[in-house]
């Protein structure tokens, strides 16, 4: 069976706007607050056209914390799934205390997606805006692309690339493909 390549994407801050409070990012709390970032649709279309599976891997601990209902997060995910032609969402609704394998920085969600879709992790990328995203990608064996927003929190160690947005991340990925030909 042929192996696929994927671009794993964090949701908040990568696909849609994250809301800053005291320099830290927070997810939208309803579909009406969900705002797709500029260039995202075009970037994902370019990646899809280049043969990548598009899989969103997102931590949504506010469900476990009781701040938002699971159905509200699913409504936002379904909207993005259809609007942006994403292949799948892998959503972790747990908090750190649950010690699950699907909550980034653990790579469980990426590994599960790799098995389900026959994805070659070392030929794939994880794109995120927080250290947990980058560490999850590294733990899974992916190349990593960090979108740097200068949040007031821990920064990731040694991402493959650091960029300003998903458009730049897409340029790095597609540029690397050209270089390998």
CB 36 within 8 A of CB 83: yes
Consecutive H or E run containing 44:
helix 40-49
* 89: its two tokens: 């969402």
One digit per residue, the tens of pLDDT, for the chain of length 181 reads 568 999 999 999 999 999 999 999 999 999 999 999 999 999 999 999 999 999 999 999 999 999 999 999 999 999 999 999 999 999 999 998 899 999 999 999 999 999 999 999 999 999 999 999 999 999 999 999 999 999 999 999 999 999 999 999 999 999 987 766 5
CB 94 within 8 A of CB 124: no
The CA distance from 10 to 134, in Å, is 10
- 3-class secondary-structure state, position 22: coil
What phi and psi, each to the nearest 5 degrees, are found at residue 79?
Answer: -60, -50
CB 137 within 8 A of CB 108: no
Full set of structural domains in the chain with CATH: 5-180 (3.40.50.1000)
CB 14 within 8 A of CB 59: no
pLDDT score of 1: 54
CB 173 within 8 A of CB 125: yes
Q: How many CB atoms lie within 10 A of CB 69?
A: 12
Q: Is the pTM of this model over 0.85?
A: yes
pLDDT score of 180: 62
> In the annotation, is 62 catalytic?
no
Active-site residue, selected from the candidate residues 10, 62, 129, 133: 10
Residues 6+ apart with CB under 8 A from 98: 64
pLDDT score of 3: 81
pLDDT score of 181: 53
pLDDT score of 139: 98
> In the annotation, is 10 catalytic?
yes
pLDDT score of 2: 63
DSSP label at 121?
A: G
The CA distance from 159 to 22, in Å, is 25
């Amino acid at each position: 069976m042929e192996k696929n390549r994927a671009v794993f994407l964090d949701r908040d801050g990568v696909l849609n706007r994250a809301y800053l409070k005291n320099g830290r990012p927070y997810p939208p709390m309803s579909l009406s607050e969900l705002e797709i970032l500029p260039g995202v649709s075009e970037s994902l279309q370019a990646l899809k056209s280049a043969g990548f599976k598009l899989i969103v891997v997102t931590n949504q601990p506010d469900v476990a914390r009781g701040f938002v209902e699971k159905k509200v997060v699913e409504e936002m995910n379904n909207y993005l799934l259809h609007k942006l032609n994403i292949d799948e969402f892998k959503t972790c609704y747990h908090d750190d205390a649950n010690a699950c394998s699907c909550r980034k920085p653990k790579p469980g969600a990426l590994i599960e997606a790799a098995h389900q879709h026959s994805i070659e992790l070392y030929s794939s990328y994880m794109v995120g805006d927080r250290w947990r995203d980058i560490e999850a990608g590294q733990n899974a064996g992916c190349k990593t692309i960090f979108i740097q927003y200068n949040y007031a929190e821990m920064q990731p160690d040694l991402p493959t690339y650091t960029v300003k947005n998903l458009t730049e991340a897409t340029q790095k990925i597609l540029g690397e493909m050209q270089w390998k030909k």
